Amino acid sequence: MRATGTAAALLAALAAAAPAGAQDDSAVSRTALERRIAAQPGATVGLYYRSLVAPDSMAIGADIRFHAASTMKVAVMIQAFRDIDSARLRLDERLPVVNAFRSIADGSTYELDRADDSDSSLYALVGRTAPVRQLVELMITISSNLATNVLIERVGAARVQATLRELGTDSMVVLRGVEDGAAYRAGLNNTTTARDLAILLEAIADGRAASAASCGRMLQILLHQRINDAIPRGLPRRTPVAHKTGGLTGQYHDAAIVYTRRRPQYVLVVLTRGIAQHEAATQLIADLAGIIHRWHSVVFPPRD
């Protein structure tokens, strides 16, 4: 676990409070979180923690709405697997890889720029086909924008939105694919709260987002995430984390299911905006994750 000086001091205070009861520990942890957020100039943070081993949660700004950025890809993945469960789609089905999409704002055509995409490999397949399995993995593990738009064209944003409500979210909105500039300028954006992202991840962890088999596959995909600069950075090394990051200028997010001893232990979502430097945003998220993980480990020690 790597923490800044501020976070290290807060973690030390938390450790000193370890003998206290769970309620006292929670108060100490919340104070540590709030102090670390306050130490980051200009930051707006939405944080939601939910234990998967006990009825316990913690929320700080959990209902503040943020641009969802690439965290909305979790919702697209869930819809893809629900469609697989209902035989509307197959993992080995090959979809046309195109790079021309219609804006939901004015119907104009736009393309994605491979230079702005975290994955460039899929662009070599434009004009050909790729299997759903590959598209979902690229969308989640390396956050491919092109794979996302190909998939959302297939499953439909409206159906993704209906699934979000069915799973219990009340604020998350998925209107479109990514890089729709006309829609962005018109304010037609995908948005979320920390609480709603946590609801989705908990549904995957509990096997409710889709069939048990499909939820297991989604967890494995999330565990193979290659972008690990935020929540995993604040945890003990080699801690398994099934998660999805997302970011755009001035905003960075991470939404995670954290494991101990190969079992999902808790969900943690941290959304941020107002931090100009990417490194500062990822360090803040890592520090908050470290505080939560230390508190959770004290209150809910792992058992065989």
Q: Is residue 101's pLDDT more than 90?
A: yes
Reported pTM: 0.92
pLDDT at 5: 58
CATH number of 1-64+211-299: 3.40.710.10
Tell me: pLDDT of 18 over 90.
Answer: no
The 3-class SS string of the chain reads CCCCHHHHHHHHHHHHCCCCCHHHHHHHHHHHHHHHHHCCCCCEEEEEEEECCCCCEEEECCCCCEECHHHHHHHHHHHHHHHHHCCCCCCCCEEECCCCEECCCCCCEECCCHHHCCCCHHHHHCCCEEEHHHHHHHHHHCCCHHHHHHHHHHHCHHHHHHHHHHCCCCCCECCCCCCCHHHHHCCCCCEECHHHHHHHHHHHHCCCCCCHHHHHHHHHHHHCCCCCCCHHHHCCCCCCEEEEEEEECCEEEEEEEEEECCEEEEEEEEEEECCCCHHHHHHHHHHHHHHHHHHHHHHCCCCC
Q: How many residues are listed for the chain in this entry?
A: 304
- Determine the pLDDT at residue 26: 77
Statement: residue 14 has pLDDT above 70: no
Percent of the chain whose pLDDT exceeds 90: 88
Q: Is the pLDDT of residue 9 over 70?
A: no
Confidence of residue 46 (pLDDT cuts 50, 70, 90): very high
Mean pLDDT confidence for 160-185: 97
Above 50 in pLDDT, residue 177? yes
Higher pLDDT, 37 or 5: 37
- pLDDT at position 10 over 80: no
pLDDT, tens only, 186-239: 999 999 999 999 999 999 999 999 999 999 999 999 999 999 999 999 999 999
Residue type, 237: R
> Where are the CATH 3.40.710.10 domain residues in the chain?
1-64+211-299, 65-192
Q: What is the CATH code of the structural domain delimited by 65-192?
A: 3.40.710.10
- Whether 249 has a pLDDT exceeding 50, the answer reads yes
In the predicted model, what is the mean pLDDT of residues 133-152?
A: 98
pLDDT at 19 over 60: no
Q: What is the pLDDT of residue 168?
A: 98
pLDDT attached to residue 28 = 76
pLDDT score at 7: 56
Mean per-residue pLDDT, 233-260:
97
Residue 303 pLDDT level (bands cut at 50, 70, 90):
confident
